[in-house]
A and B are shown apart, each in its own frame.
Chain A
Amino acid sequence: MSEPIHERPEIVNTLNTHEFAVIQAPHSRWRRLCDNGAFRKTLVLVVLMVIWEVYARVLANPLLFPTFSATVGALLSALVTGELPRAAAATLILLFKGYLAGLLLAALLTAFASMTRIGADILETLTAMFNPLPSIALLPLALIWFGLGEGSIIFVLIHAVVWAVALNAFAGFRSVSPTLKMVGRNYGLSRAGFVLRILIPGAFPSILTGLKIGWAFAWRTLIAAELVFGVSSGSGGLGWYIYQSKNQLEIPAVFAGLLTVILFGLSVENLVFRVIEKHTVRRWGMAS
């Protein structure tokens, strides 16, 4: 305080409006390519294929580990004979039935849980009990209850789907911000309108996660179940195709079957879930 304040002149500038080097400019083509997620992921896939091909050639044991090109060859010939498409179709139809039934049950459970406290307790207890239980472990029981056939497989599929989906959807409902809920009530929405127009969109990120996890669980369970008893269900699916090819020592065909499963996984993730995500949670800024 005792020291005098240093005297300085004030500074007032007129703003420069024209002499900027760059204000905005498009990125270079290479930069745009690198920013493209599809391009980067394709790159990853190509590198994996090359590693596979090189390793298999070095190993030189087609019975243990066929090359990538041999696998693709087996895949193409199985496609041509129609054996693989038939198996894949059988698997997919079963998968959709089980998945949809699981979703329906999950929706009912979640609705009940979000309406009543005891419903929430029931859902939480059941999930804690059954979610860690591998669905395939229920297959022997299912075979006794529902016999050798679609029924048993759909039963284990439902079990695979329902807990993951219900758990995530319910967690999502709970995490919808209290402010948003009050906004919905302020409009005087009906109960159904409130659930449809506020709770479900508000919980959509979690619901989508549940759908993805449920889908993956359903695939795993189905392939495993088919490996165990595909032929008895009348129409052998992909799992059975893999198992049969192994028995006939057609190892490239085994790999072709596995590759088909992988391709389905990749395309559902990228063509279905990613597209849904892009048009919903990403567009809304709700993606975690």
Chain B
Amino acid sequence: MAESNQETLKQHSPLLSVQGVTLQYRTTDQLLTATYRVSLDVQRSDRFVVLGPSGCGKSTLLKAIGGFHAPTEGCILLNSTAVHAPGPERAFVFQEFDQLLPWKTVRANIEFALISGAHLARGEAADRAAHYIAKVGLHAFADNYPHTLSGGMKQRVAIARAMAMEPAILLMDEPFAALDALTREHMQQELLQLWQDTRFTVIFVTHSIPEAIRIGNRILLLSAHPGQVRAELNSPGTDVRDAQGKLLSTRIQELLFDRALKSAAGDNGGNDNV
């Protein structure tokens, strides 16, 4: 009985819990506070979006969850264990196209992640790599080197690589930001399709409001300089109107840019063109 109690406790406790995390980093001549006492909980199978203007520390927050950056204050718990260093159970997808090892083919990139990160045997790694390459529709390019792929394909490989590691949580740092608008829309759709298949847990960082609404089921809004939690909203996946008839996107804009809207009506970051 005790066991099943623990089991239910585990079901209800969040997969990832960020508690009062303050992040600071040193540049050459000053100390910057990126986020100030940010708290959030991510449940299993959440598509948790962190949304905010540039300079709100959302990428730094994600890097801290990834273990690349130690918090000055607060703690980050994954399955109730504190996060101290990077690890393969938190697979990262970066914004940059150069995240694939250029000296390895698509297949070898994924296999290498599985062998050295997830500690699989060679044969098992090959099978799983093939499975995920097919999943992102790149079987025709499995033996290509990354420099021969387009930006969208490279990001697809990066996503396949991260998913193949079957991590506890996927961390995506603006993975579609450097793509053209058409490819970007296509990739969002694909990501949602992949989520339908496997129901992975993902934290997705973006600065685009439409992307946040589309991708997320839960959206965390961070204010800028330093990043603080402004709100945490639910998203049904489309830009719906609430009880007052206000669009979700309008609500997000008002929450994020309330001061900016009052002082300078034009400069509200409305140039997110997706």
Per the bound structure, the CA–CA distance linking A180 and B116 in Å amounts to 15
- Stretch of A73-81, A138-146, A278-286 that contacts chain B: A278-286
B216 at interface by CB-CB < 8 Å: no
Q: Which of A188, A204, A286 has the most CB of B within 10 A?
A: A188
Are B86's CB and A286's CB within 8 A?
A: no
Per the bound structure, the CA–CA distance linking A193 and B116 in Å amounts to 9
Select B145's contact among A180, A198, A202, A284, beta carbons within 8 Å. A284
Q: Could you tell me the distance in whole angstroms from the C-beta of A160 to the nearest C-beta in chain B? A: 29
Contacts of B85 in A (CB 8 A): 185, 188
Are B87's CB and A179's CB within 8 A?
A: no
Per the bound structure, the CA–CA distance linking A186 and B146 in Å amounts to 19
> What does DSSP make chain A's interface, helix, strand, loop or mixed?
helix
B 83-120 contacts with A by CB, 8 A: 85-88, 90-92, 94, 96, 98-99, 101-103, 112-113, 116-117
Are A188's CB and B87's CB within 8 A?
A: yes
Chain B interface, number of residues (Cβ within 8 angstroms): 25
B199 at interface by CB-CB < 8 Å: no
A183 at interface by CB-CB < 8 Å: yes
Per the bound structure, the CA–CA distance linking A187 and B85 in Å amounts to 11
Select B88's contact among A179, A182, A187, A197, beta carbons within 8 Å. A187
Per the bound structure, the CA–CA distance linking A179 and B94 in Å amounts to 7
Select B86's contact among A182, A197, A280, beta carbons within 8 Å. A182
Contacts of A186 in B (CB 8 A): 66, 86-88, 90-92, 117
B147 at interface by CB-CB < 8 Å: yes
Contacts of B88 in A (CB 8 A): 186-188
Q: Which bracket fits the contact residues of A?
A: 20 to 34
Are B99's CB and A179's CB within 8 A?
A: yes
Contacts of B116 in A (CB 8 A): 187-189, 193, 197
B 46-74 contacts with A by CB, 8 A: 63, 66, 68
A119 at interface by CB-CB < 8 Å: no
Select B101's contact among A183, A188, A280, beta carbons within 8 Å. A183
Per the bound structure, the CA–CA distance linking A180 and B146 in Å amounts to 13
Contacts of B148 in A (CB 8 A): 285
Are B147's CB and A179's CB within 8 A?
A: no
Contacts of B96 in A (CB 8 A): 177, 179
Are B98's CB and A284's CB within 8 A?
A: no
Contacts of B90 in A (CB 8 A): 186
Q: Could you tell me the distance in whole angstroms from the C-beta of B209 to the nearest C-beta in chain A? A: 26
B 184-209 contacts with A by CB, 8 A: none
Select A187's contact among B63, B94, B113, B147, beta carbons within 8 Å. B113
Per the bound structure, the CA–CA distance linking A193 and B117 in Å amounts to 11
Contacts of A177 in B (CB 8 A): 96, 98
Per the bound structure, the CA–CA distance linking A182 and B85 in Å amounts to 11
A149 at interface by CB-CB < 8 Å: no
A201 at interface by CB-CB < 8 Å: yes
Per the bound structure, the CA–CA distance linking A285 and B112 in Å amounts to 19
Are A198's CB and B101's CB within 8 A?
A: yes
Are B86's CB and A284's CB within 8 A?
A: no
Per the bound structure, the CA–CA distance linking A188 and B103 in Å amounts to 19
Contacts of B68 in A (CB 8 A): 182, 185
Are A188's CB and B86's CB within 8 A?
A: yes
Contacts of B63 in A (CB 8 A): 182
Q: Could you tell me the distance in whole angstroms from the C-beta of A96 to the nearest C-beta in chain B? A: 27
Q: Could you tell me the distance in whole angstroms from the C-beta of B104 to the nearest C-beta in chain A? A: 8
Contact bitstring A251-288, B, C-beta under 8 A = 1, else 0: 00000000000000000000000000000100111100
Contacts of B103 in A (CB 8 A): 201-202, 204, 280, 284, 286
Q: Could you tell me the distance in whole angstroms from the C-beta of B109 to the nearest C-beta in chain A? A: 9
Are B145's CB and A183's CB within 8 A?
A: no
Given contacts A188-B117, A198-B101, contact A183 B92 (CB under 8 A): yes
Per the bound structure, the CA–CA distance linking A180 and B96 in Å amounts to 10
Are A183's CB and B87's CB within 8 A?
A: no
**Considering only CB atoms, which chain B residue lies closest to A204 in the complex?**
B103
Per the bound structure, the CA–CA distance linking A283 and B86 in Å amounts to 30
Are A180's CB and B101's CB within 8 A?
A: yes
**Considering only CB atoms, which chain A residue lies closest to B147 in the complex?**
A285
Contact bitstring A159-186, B, C-beta under 8 A = 1, else 0: 0000000000000000001011011011
Contacts of B87 in A (CB 8 A): 186, 188
Q: Could you tell me the distance in whole angstroms from the C-beta of A64 to the nearest C-beta in chain B? A: 51
**Considering only CB atoms, which chain B residue lies closest to A190 in the complex?**
B116
Q: Which residues of B contact A (CB under 8 A)?
A: 63, 66, 68, 85-88, 90-92, 94, 96, 98-99, 101-103, 112-113, 116-117, 145-148
Query: Could you list 27 examples of A-B contacts with CB < 8 Å?
Result: A177-B96, A177-B98, A179-B96, A179-B99, A180-B101, A182-B66, A182-B86, A182-B92, A183-B92, A186-B66, A186-B86, A186-B87, A186-B88, A186-B91, A187-B112, A187-B113, A188-B86, A188-B87, A188-B88, A202-B103, A280-B103, A284-B102, A284-B145, A284-B147, A285-B146, A285-B147, A285-B148
Given A183-B92, A202-B101, output 4 extra A-B contacts at Cβ < 8 Å: A179-B94, A180-B101, A185-B86, A286-B102
